[in-house]
A and B are shown apart, each in its own frame.
Chain A
């Protein structure tokens, strides 16, 4: 990682920009359990609560004992590649445009067979492999066989790279360069090999620590961008919208207060202006161009990243209005995800726990450094997932949310302001 990819050749403007095609999107409802886990970067298969048998393909009742009590559980994915083939013919346009494909039949140690993509680093069958879950360009879960030992990056296989949003060689807009988080993300993307990073600057009369230092980065270009101002957003989109491959929306307005600790709604309105309406303005200005360029060569438009907050999952009363603005932003990001999915552009949401900054001053550790969140952004782009929960607090909230969302509401609501 970090090595700049060979810079793609300049595009011939006379040639038609190719239109995006997608792998097959249809799945049964029960199979979406695989997608739900893959969205978080995990491999989960159904396991029978009564007899323990692991199941695949996903199903409604246990293949062994007919119990209907099947639950999704993490799997280590270890098994043997027992047969493989290279497909040189395809009916679906997505595959036809990318032939050949290597697929295989893997017998998991858990006793079921999976058909999977086979990473080019895997040796010839038969051999030991590990199965990972990934999201394909249609946003659905697929299984990938990687070598049994060591870490294998999906982006190292030219075919599977398309399941990632590899930032190498790409042109990226980071919407707010003035926050510590935005600056950390710019530095991380620069180190990860981005081709160009536009850095949004609002309120140019305000000096922000660390901002001037960004100019020294070789890929950095400072651009005026105020996400609370529709004209500013559209003006920037008019200039660079047709070139942006990845939008990283770091817009974040965080004012700590509960309902009864302040009078008036103006501060809450400001949170909504930046967090919720900021995303809406950005999406209206940039989404269409991203969709149009989703198949535009090797450095195509590929992803949209939103930095949300773990407080979007359940309202945290000491940060009550902020939590509400992030919940609204989460909901809107789901709409954006649905609108970008037909083009194969992935929307990645980050749900960090409390960050070590002024607005989370009274939160107890562990807290996240901005650099840790930035690392999570790069890791998410290099991987193949769409929901990322960086940090111990976020993981803790997520586990509680998955187990019982109502209990989480009561627990975090117990911390009365």
Chain B
């Protein structure tokens, strides 16, 4: 039986707490700034927010509960979404059902992390039990090694070249140059990409996302609430998630999206050809490619040909990560999975910080999270439409 649709659920008030490479603040600071920005954008008092879905890697020892008291909120719905880069999509799905059923009226969905000089190593060291026992002792020190293995396999099995991944990175950098909040402000050429130092073969410097501190957030409510508040909004047409899909594959060269994409497009009533842009999860370019394939923009293993046949700037044939994506904006921990959602809301409500995709009506946002051991476990995607 197909899942029930999302009726009149909408997303509004896209906010970003500007990113910094390192911060002396705690995660609570960035999450607190995100909530303040959400209230300011919606012009509502704190008491109007009755639901909260939060994602953060650096909130420990607190959880969403600790944050609720820290921020002085009184809530009737609370979720702690610990799915890394899939947290944003998962938050949308949970918050949407909450407002649809009346369990909450306005749910603040936000994610953020701080980044101290040693945060990355500490997070990597204790990321998961499997990682601690069976990956971290081998020196990869976080996702670089894991994605290097996935990238090496994909290139060998499907004939992708460094130039293909480079084309995505260069296009995203061009998009970022128009986004005042992107941490990367210098143009990137394909030569610079190809000549950058190797980090973990075949990954070079510009294949690897840069960890930073920051936060992203948005509000989920019913259309009538948004209209009463006078807020620009986007409609939630469809959303999917899948965890531990294709677990028997020897190595991850496809994500779980393929299992649910037909349901996604059926629920949305639009197909891949109707989408004006996509915001893919892009901590490493190979993951972009798995999303192109898994979400039906090209066939399995055809990613390289798809890249060669398209251009990915805002004005290109396939606008991708229109704010620059994590690769050129920075990865503020768990906020990496919210970055694309916030940008999609901005695109579809005409509030972009940078370049705007002309006449955009439909956008797809996708999430990918948690290299728990040898592959990313969590996948999700949502289709949003202009009001």
Contact = CB atoms under 8 A, between A and B. Distances in A.
Contact of A91 (B124, B130, B132, B201): B124
B199 A24 contact: no
Contact of B133 (A23, A31, A91, A138): A31
Contacts of A26: 125-126, 132, 136
Interface string B145-160: 1001110110010000
Given A24-B125, A82-B153, A107-B250, A88 B197 contact: yes
B251 A57 contact: no
B351 interface: no
A86 B202 CA distance: 8
B149 A85 contact: yes
A83 B133 contact: no
Interface in B130-173: 130, 132-142, 144-145, 148-150, 152-153, 156
A225 B148 CA distance: 54
Contacts of A136: 137
Contact of B251 (A89, A92, A107): A107
A89 B137 contact: no
A113 B250 contact: yes
A142 B153 CA distance: 23
Contacts of B317: none
A104 B148 CA distance: 10
Given A85-B152, A88-B200, A103 B134 contact: no
Q: Size band of the B side of the interface?
A: 35 or more
B374 A87 contact: no
A92 B136 CA distance: 10
B152 A140 contact: no
Given A23-B139, A107-B251, A89 B144 contact: yes
Contact of B145 (A85, A94, A140): A85
Interface string A48-73: 00000000111000000000000000
Interface in A68-110: 82-92, 94-95, 101, 103-105, 107
B251 A85 contact: no
Considering residues A24, A113, A114, A136, which has the most beta carbons from chain B within 10 angstroms of its beta carbon?
A: A24
B137 A28 contact: no
A85 B150 CA distance: 10
A125 interface: yes
A11 interface: no
A129 B303 CA distance: 30
B120 interface: yes
A207 interface: no
Interface string A124-138: 011000000000101
A181 interface: no
Nearest to A93: B121
Contact of A103 (B125, B126, B139, B250): B139
B373 A57 contact: yes
Interface in B233-275: 250-251
Contacts of A90: 139-141
A242 B251 CA distance: 49
B200 A87 contact: yes
A116 interface: yes
B387 interface: no
Contacts of B142: 91
Interface residues on A, range: 35 or more
A180 interface: no
B200 A84 contact: no
A91 B138 CA distance: 12
B310 interface: no
B40 interface: no
Given A24-B125, A58-B133, A82 B251 contact: yes
Given A26-B125, A58-B133, A92-B121, A115 B374 contact: yes
A28 B132 contact: yes
B133 A95 contact: no
Interface in A270-310: none
Contact of B199 (A83, A89, A91): A89
Nearest to A136: B137
B287 to A, nearest CB: 15
B129 interface: yes
A377 to B, nearest CB: 27
Contacts of B144: 87, 89
Contacts of A351: none
Nearest to A58: B133
A308 B144 CA distance: 45
A198 interface: no
B200 A115 contact: no
A27 B141 contact: no
A105 B197 contact: no
A115 B135 contact: yes
A142 B136 CA distance: 10
Contacts of B201: 85-86, 88
A209 B367 CA distance: 76
Contacts of B145: 85, 87, 103, 115
B257 to A, nearest CB: 21
A92 B139 contact: yes
Contacts of B137: 23-24, 27, 136, 138, 140, 142
Contacts of A83: 149-150, 152-153, 156, 251
Going nearest first, the 10 A-B pairs with the smallest beta carbon separation are A85-B148, A95-B139, A57-B134, A91-B121, A31-B133, A91-B141, A83-B153, A83-B149, A57-B130, A107-B250
12 contacts: A23-B139, A28-B133, A86-B198, A88-B199, A92-B141, A95-B141, A103-B138, A103-B139, A107-B250, A113-B374, A115-B138, A115-B140
Interface of B: 120-121, 124-126, 129-130, 132-142, 144-145, 148-150, 152-153, 156, 197-203, 250-251, 373-374
Given A88-B198, A104-B149, 8 more contacts: A57-B134, A82-B251, A87-B145, A103-B149, A105-B149, A107-B250, A115-B135, A125-B152
